[in-house]
Amino acid sequence: LDQPNPAGAQPATPASPAAEAERGGPRTLEGEPGVENRLSSVLGRTDDPLKIGGLLYLRSNVNAREHTPPSQWTLTAPALTDIFLDARPLDRVRGFVLGRMFFDPTQTASSTGLASEEAPPPNPQVLLDQLWLSFDLGRTAFVTLGRQHVKWGVGRFWNPTDYLHAVRRDPLTVFDARTGTYMARVNLPWERYGWSITGVVVFEPLVTQAATTFITSVAVPAGSTTTTPAGTPSNQLAGVGGGGRAELVLGSWEFGVDGVAQRGMRPRLGVDVSGGLWEIDFKGELSLRKSSDVTLYRGTLASFGPYEPSGVRPAAVLAAEWSHKYSDEDSFTLGFEYFYNSNGYVNDQRALYPVLILANAFTSFYLGRHYGGAYLSLTKPGGWNLHTFTLSAISNLSDQSSLVRFDWSMTFLTYLTLEVYVQGHLGTSDGEFRLGINLPNLGETGSPSVSIGAQTVDLGLALRLNL
């Protein structure tokens, strides 16, 4: 369902009428190829100009906490449906529309977490994920107009240079439910060297949105409770943003340089690199910007306030991945990743986490100063050709809390995929990944006491139908 990059490959050269005739195409009484067949070949018409498909994704999740009996463990059942229309009348013209609906029968007004004063999103909720038209100009410039997905950066768990999405991706979820961004994109490839230049004009706000889920393994739908700084409305010309990216290939190494600017946020620059040595792939990603999209706080729980950091605020990812073939048909992939976030909180600031949740400034996986991650993936091992196993671990090295997750998926009846995961929360009981809340009663001027046990285990079961 993801949009392919139109510049990823040179469009196919239309077949000549003679070649079409040799393949048994329609012919006139004189033995020449039919006029309709000849025109189709010249224009590059496709055999199937319109495809209709979609996705049905049924999920259920159970979240356990300390000092909570099993009968009171949190249950969610988020269902997701995608329907798309893919029109390709010619091999040089394509239109794509994808609509999405979320529904959770367990969602109620009292299940939205600590920030209960904010209304929950509609249930069911209907969103537009993609709506774009692509074509080429002289087979040289490739244009895509509309709401689309464009991802910059090379990290697996963290993508600080993913500037063209306003919502951060949850790195542990199997399905990325974020919606696309409305933009005009032009790509100019230089295929001789494998280089390309891309320019974008963005019509939606790009300021990073922090979704408050308090904090389960299930990401809330895009469009849920969010906070962004005040800026120019997107319905004014001054609110239009722009950016660009250059990609270069030098030997076995690939380099990317990008940047984006929009009124209401500070300009951002990014650099990424990837390449291989022996069987190991190395990746790096650097984001440079000023200030922070999400409000930052400092102080103590009894006395705190917002502040704006000064100077350039870098964020960087370093990663290594090893793929090894242990038989003629089987291989495993082992990877490690480190993330540095200069806007993140350190260990002695974790007491402010309840404040961040109430202020909708709790940015999961981007909250701490230092992170580390590792993963091991087995795809179709041995005779288990319908199975995939993945073990992932992520640690907030700053507040010493961690997540360990095991995913297993199996395909059956050709179109159905069964997904199961088990996720454990480790480390400090008031850290990001094992978060418990203990707020004292502040008396007449404050809020009543709140006590919520730390997270322990999450379980999930899902069934996916792809059409």
Q: pLDDT at position 305, please?
A: 92
Q: How far apart are the first and last CA of the chain?
A: 10
Of 108, 175, 217, the residue nearest 435 (C-alpha): 217
3-state secondary structure 109-168: HHHCCCCCCCCCCCCCEEEEEEEEEEEEECCCEEEEEEEECCCCCCCCCCCCCCCCCCEC
Using alpha carbons only, give the angle 38, 144, 158 rounded to the nearest 5 degrees. 135
- Local confidence pLDDT in tens for the 467 residues of the chain: 444 444 443 434 344 444 443 444 444 444 455 655 655 555 567 788 999 999 999 999 999 999 999 999 999 999 999 999 999 999 999 999 999 999 999 987 655 555 545 567 899 999 999 999 999 999 999 999 999 999 999 999 999 999 999 899 999 999 999 999 999 999 999 988 889 999 999 999 987 665 544 444 344 444 443 334 445 566 788 889 999 999 999 999 999 999 999 988 889 999 999 999 988 999 999 999 999 988 999 988 888 999 999 999 999 999 999 999 988 889 999 999 999 999 999 999 999 999 999 888 999 999 999 999 999 999 999 889 999 999 999 999 999 999 999 999 999 999 999 999 999 999 999 999 999 988 776 555 456 677 889 999 999 999 999 98
For the domain that residue 439 is a member of, what is the CATH number? 2.40.160.10
* 416 and 281 both lie in a single domain: yes
Q: Say yes or no: 162 and 36 in one domain.
A: no
Is the same domain home to 76 and 188?
Answer: yes
Looking at residue 15, its pLDDT comes to 43
Shared domain check, 20 and 98 = no
Q: Assess whether 31 and 133 both reside in one domain.
A: no
pLDDT at 217: 39
Residue 302: per-residue pLDDT: 82
- 51 vs 119: CA distance, rounded Å: 38
Specify the residue for token string 């991945």.
321
> Any idea which residue has 């689309």 for tokens?
148
Do both 130 and 12 map to the same domain? no
Q: Which helix (H) or strand (E) holds 39?
A: helix 35-43
Write down the pLDDT at residue 237: 85
Question: Torsion angle of alpha carbons 426, 427, 428, 432, nearest 10°?
Answer: -60
Residue ranges making up the domain that contains 2: 1-45
* Rounded Cα gap, residues 370 and 339, in angstroms: 6
Co-location of 257 and 179 in the same domain: yes
Q: Residue 163 phi/psi, 5° resolution? A: -75, -20
Phi, psi dihedrals of residue 426, rounded to the nearest 5°: -125, 165
- One-letter amino acid of 220: V
Alpha-carbon distance of 346 to 328, in angstroms, equals: 47
Same domain, 234 and 260: yes
Strands 331-341 and 370-379: antiparallel
Identify whether residues 4 and 93 lie together within a single domain.
no
Note whether 247 and 360 are same-domain residues.
yes
33 and 162 co-located in one domain: no
Tell me the CA distances in angstroms from 264 to 157, 202, 207, 310, 450, one per residue in order. 27, 13, 8, 17, 36
Q: Pairing mode, if any, of strands 253-261 and 74-76?
A: unpaired
Q: Are 14 and 45 in contact (CB under 8 A)?
A: no
| Closest CA relative to residue 188, chosen from 7, 45, 354 | 7
The three-class DSSP label of residue 363 is coil
pTM tops 0.85: no
Position 164, amino acid? L
Asked whether residue 162 falls in the same domain as residue 292, the answer is: yes
* Distance between CA atoms of residues 248 and 259, nearest Å: 15
Give the total number of structural domains in the chain.
2
How many other CB atoms are there within 10 angstroms of residue 347's CB atom? 15
Q: What are phi and psi of 185, to 5 degrees?
A: -130, 135
Using the 3D structure, point to which of 45, 62, 80 is the last residue of a domain. Answer: 45
pLDDT of amino acid 16: 42
At 454 the three-state DSSP class reads coil
